Amino acid sequence: MYDAGKIITGIVIFLILMTVPIWYVVATGQASYVPDPKVNPDETQCVESTDYMIKNHMVLLDEWKTSCVRDGICTWVASDGETYNTSLAGTCLSSCHPSKAEFCDQCHSYVGIKPYCWNCHISGE
Amino acid sequence: MTAVLFFFGVILPYIAVLIFIVGIIYRVWKWARSPVPFRIPTTCGQQKTLPWIKANNLENPSNTVGVIGRMALEVLLFRSLLRNTTTELKQGVRKLVYKDSLLLWLGALLFHWSLLIILLRHSKFFLEPVPSFLLLFERWDGILQVSVPSWFPSMFPILFISNIIILLALTYLLLRRVLTSQIRYISLPADYLVVLLILGVVTSGILMKFFFKVDVVGVKTLALGVITFQPSVPADGIGLFFYIHLFLICALIAYFPFSKLMHMPGIFLSPTRNLANTNRISRHVNPWDKPVKVHTYEEWEDEFRDVMKDAGVPLEKEQ
Amino acid sequence: MSDEVAAPEELLEIDYRPPKKGWMEPTVEFKKGTYCYGAPLKHQEYLGLPNPRQWQPPDEDWQLPENWKDIILEGMDELLNKYRSFRLFMDICVRCGACADKCHFFIGSGDPKNMPVLRAELIRSVYRKHFTLPGKLFGKMGGARELTEDVLKEWFYYFYQCTECRRCSVYCPYGIDTCEITMMGRELLNLVGCNIGWIVEPASNCFRTGNHLGVPPHAFKDTLDFAVDEIEELTGIKVEASVNRKGAELLFITPSADYFASPHWYTLMGYMHSADMAKKLNAKMYAEAKRLGVKWILGGECGHMWRVVNQYMDTLNGPADYLEEPVSPITGTKFENSKSTKMVHICEFTADLMYNNKLRLDPSLNDHWRLTFHDSCNTARGMGLIEEPRYIINNVCNNFYEMPENTIKERTFCCGSGAGIGSDENLEMRLRGGLPRANAVKHVQEKHGVNLLTCICAIDRATLPTLLQYWVPGVEVSGLHELVGNALVMKGQKDRTTDMRGTPFEVEES
């Protein structure tokens, strides 16, 4: 008794599971989609470098929140010596990144992250 | 530099996945080519017999539904490990004492389930747009973040429950191999290699998440490029720890088909578990069965005819 | 009993700590009392076994054929291609160690190579060396060993220290069955003429006379007549026992040991010595049933026979389409679970009789027994015959006590003497292997005053008396149907003053 039928079925299921993403992106046609976060073209200077901000913005914002809400210290000195108000709405969203949908959500929804910033903050829209 | 990144980010994963898929299918095919000549389930409960005796269809299946149930319990809940006991010889009273020993079951189950959850969470890097059920899933796994008390130090980004559990479970599985003298005695270098590799993958992942940050958008762009066979490495790099993480994963999955990790497909083919105990109900055919020389009744009677006659045993040929 | 065996206290000094030396170095020490003798040349030749010769395991030179290594490796390749179980179980073990302390031989000896996982690794290491890439590439680091004469000797020692009881396979998360591995190991050893007398001789006898002792047919008739007379003496009833009668309703096949007055040893049909041998010997059952023109077959109390009947016979020698689907001639019950094999276990048959009130029973006739029940490995783990014997017991006696849960039903402990290794020269190892069973009996002896161990396996009946005498003096052994016989009240019987053993019933004081 070889049970070839059952084993082949098993192998086919394995292959399907392994290739689900391929069929999925082919079906949705979104394979080559790349997020495009929009920045106010008039603003050229962020609080830190772009590379740093890409990888560490969540940590920075969390530090801002903790120091301002818990410790009452609502200013922060950047590595270049400049002082900023630790305010998501006031510092980040007011001028440089006015649209949550066009900036924040671009990457967040791309990598499937739902930060809880927006549990408290109103996105400004 | 780009060439090196291309190798580690694109070429190596392609090779590893190819070895993984082809290797697994080859090994399974090799098992499949050997037949199951006899139906040999290990029965762990009451057989189907007289109608007024309650049969245990999950531990001693008598039909396909029972077999599926038994296999599901085995694969999803590690039923057999749940029976585990430790044996101890109490010298004073000269008595053997058996104690339930569920730590191995718990460690193994937690490890495998958290691994599955982590794999599912990672599938978001290969799916665009991300299906909403995955988000829900991640929310549950990260529930700890919401429920930590306010005096607890901030742990941004979210620390997943599955990450904590898999670390604990793997540490337990490794420690038990090193510290229990009997298990250490039976362990091969390969046994340590596998645990350490997985532990390496998990640790590098956690370090990357909390301490050595990488460009997550770049990771997904790379992943999507690879699975659609239009690979390109983000020029500004993704981050060293991503490449370490990816390299360890490649090593693990390329080693998979050559290793004991083949227990994953293997369990489905295990003849002591995946067969129904219907031996006396329907005939199981052995494909390599061949006639053998038997000692027939006639030869037997020929040898003993005289004495049988004297004893008054009926004979086939009186002669 | 051999006087060379140490006292129980001494045997109980078991050290479970593994030695410093790794297991990959073969241990070849044939300690007296822990191995079985080689097979006599005569019987090897009668069965036409390969490379026949007179030899003994402790011999320095095993007189292996020159190309023994090729024979083994080619044999291994053939078995890997014939048995999925073998190939799979070589590949998927993760060495979690769940099986380690489940083996009665490990519990009784502390020898780490008696852990099922290491027993399998003995052959797995050679498999890796010759059949897998990592083994070929990395050698010892890859868990691989060269096949040497010492490794072969080690195989012999440890594959004949396994009773193929399958207890480990209950606990293995992948169901790895050491019985399969031991069977393959023994078959490979057989290819180069390494056999034990205790298997080859009975197999040869079975082949010739149909019973393992080589009892010729007239002597069998005498024994049966004697039994009939004895029953008449005890109960006043002349039962009819027919032998070789054509056109009978059913054929009763019982383990050969049952002909003898005292429980005796038994290795049914050289069980699984090799698949071919099993087929050769098992073929007789159906051939006889066909010749005698019976409707179906009733099988007696025998463990190994029932593993063969339940899991192998129909495949080996079926389909038995010349027989009818079994129906009890007394109750009319259809035994649907044996409609293809056409062989019913006597416990199923008797339980059905009792359920339908066809037997007049007086359980008080067994009141002199306080008993416990030993599930035999093969009926428990190769069949699932668990409730039937218990139903019968509860109908025929009043004092039944179960042993602890971890030692009965599918988790039952082997008697330690099955699968061909129940010989006297192997006594120390048998006593060690029987320790867990005996220990559980001791528990109920102390707790409930149990004085009888009932079982449904001929090897048990043959070997357990020695075992219990050594570990648990005061507990006797019986077959289940002996108790049924005791409790049976037959029409027209005289007042019974003794049980089936001739032991007088205790006289009630009035």
Query: What are chain B's domains?
Result: 2-289 (1.20.950.20), 290-319 (no CATH)
Domain extents for chain C?
8-30+50-194, 200-355, 363-487
pLDDT of residue C238: 62
Q: Which of residues 227-246 of B touch C (CB under 8 A)?
A: none
pLDDT digits (tens, 9 = 90+) for C426-468: 889 999 999 999 999 999 999 999 999 999 887 788 888 999 9
Q: Which of residues 158-187 of C touch B (CB under 8 A)?
A: 166, 169-177, 180
Identify whether A17 is part of a domain.
Answer: yes
Q: For residue A75, which phi and psi values (nearest 5 degrees)?
A: -125, 160
- Contacting residues of C for B296, CB less than 8 Å apart: 287
Q: Which of residues 140-199 of B touch C (CB under 8 A)?
A: 180-191
The stretch C147-155 carries a mean pLDDT of 95
Q: Note whether C174 contacts B270, CB cutoff 8 Å.
A: yes
Region for C210 from its dihedrals, namely left if φ exceeds 0, alpha if ψ lies in -120 to 50, beta otherwise: left
**Which pLDDT band, with edges at 50, 70 and 90, does C232 fall under?**
low
- Contacting residues of A for B284, CB less than 8 Å apart: 1
Chain B residue closest in CA terms to C225: B311
**A105 and A63 in a common domain:** yes
Cβ pair B148, B155 in contact under 8 A: yes
Closest by alpha carbon to C103, among C119, C92, C91?
C119
Cβ pair C420, C190 in contact under 8 A: no
CA of C312 vs chain B CAs: smallest distance (Å): 6
Q: Note whether A2 contacts B286, CB cutoff 8 Å.
A: no
**Which pLDDT band, with edges at 50, 70 and 90, does C112 fall under?**
very high
Q: Which residues in C415-432 are b (16+ Cβ under 10 Å) and which e? A: bbbbbbbbbebbbbbbbb
Q: Across-strand partners of C498? A: C504
The pLDDT mean for chain C works out to 83
Say which residue, C267 or C452, is predicted with more confidence: C452
From B219, B227, B230, residue closest to A21, measured CB to CB: B227
**Which pLDDT band, with edges at 50, 70 and 90, does A118 fall under?**
confident
What is the SS3 assignment for C385-417?
Answer: CCHHHHHHHHHHCCCECCCCHHHCHHHCCCCCC
pLDDT of residue B218: 93
Cβ pair B243, B214 in contact under 8 A: no
Q: Which of residues 69-88 of A touch B (CB under 8 A)?
A: none
Q: Which of residues 52-81 of B touch C (CB under 8 A)?
A: 52-56, 59-60, 62, 74, 78, 80-81
Residue C290 has pLDDT above 80, yes or no: no
**Which pLDDT band, with edges at 50, 70 and 90, does C257 fall under?**
very low
Q: Return d(Cα C83, Cα C90) in angstroms, integer.
A: 11
Residue C263 has pLDDT above 60, yes or no: no
Q: Note whether A116 contacts B129, CB cutoff 8 Å.
A: no
**A54 and A16 in a common domain:** no
Q: Note whether B156 contacts A4, CB cutoff 8 Å.
A: no
**A21 and A78 in a common domain:** no
- Contacting residues of A for B126, CB less than 8 Å apart: 21, 24-25
Please report where in the chains the tokens 């041998």 appear, as a residue: C277
Q: Which helix (H) or strand (E) holds B11?
A: none
- Contacting residues of B for C391, CB less than 8 Å apart: 53
**Which pLDDT band, with edges at 50, 70 and 90, does C211 fall under?**
low
**Which pLDDT band, with edges at 50, 70 and 90, does B269 fall under?**
very high
Task: Give the angle subtended at the CA of B280 by the CAs of B277 and B281, to the nearest 5°.
Answer: 85
Number of A to B CB contacts under 8 A, please give it: 105
Cβ pair C451, C475 in contact under 8 A: yes
Closest by alpha carbon to C57, among C178, C160, C207?
C160
Residue A81 has pLDDT above 80, yes or no: yes
**A113 and A54 in a common domain:** yes
Q: Note whether A111 contacts B125, CB cutoff 8 Å.
A: yes
Identify whether A39 is part of a domain.
Answer: no
Q: Return d(Cα B165, Cα A21) in angstroms, integer.
A: 27
pLDDT of residue C398: 94
Residue C326 has pLDDT above 70, yes or no: yes
Identify whether A38 is part of a domain.
Answer: no
pLDDT of residue C256: 44
Q: Note whether C218 contacts B42, CB cutoff 8 Å.
A: no
The pTM assigned to this predicted structure is 0.89
Q: Return d(Cα C188, Cα C216) in angstroms, integer.
A: 32
Tell me what ipTM this predicted complex has. Answer: 0.91
**A21 and A65 in a common domain:** no
- Contacting residues of C for B76, CB less than 8 Å apart: none
Residue B316 has pLDDT above 80, yes or no: no
User: How many C-beta atoms surround the C-beta of residue C132 within 10 A?
Assistant: 17
Q: Return d(Cα C296, Cα A35) in angstroms, integer.
A: 76
The class that CATH gives domain C363-487 is: alpha beta
Q: Which two tokens stand for residue B260?
A: 């004991």
The pLDDT mean for chain A works out to 89
3-state secondary structure of C361: strand
pLDDT of residue B154: 57
Domain assignment of residue A20, given as a range: 1-33
**A59 and A23 in a common domain:** no
What is the SS3 assignment for B271-283?
Answer: CCCCCCCCCCCCC
Q: Return d(Cα C480, Cα C461) in angstroms, integer.
A: 10
CA of C228 vs chain B CAs: smallest distance (Å): 15
The stretch B244-252 carries a mean pLDDT of 97
Whether B24 and chain A come into contact, CB under 8 Å, resolves to: yes
From B272, B283, B307, residue closest to C175, measured CB to CB: B272
Q: Which two tokens stand for residue B308?
A: 């049988």
pLDDT of residue C510: 36
Say which residue, C197 or B248, is predicted with more confidence: B248
Whether B124 and chain A come into contact, CB under 8 Å, resolves to: yes
Q: Which of residues 446-485 of C touch B (CB under 8 A)?
A: none
Number of domains in chain A: 2
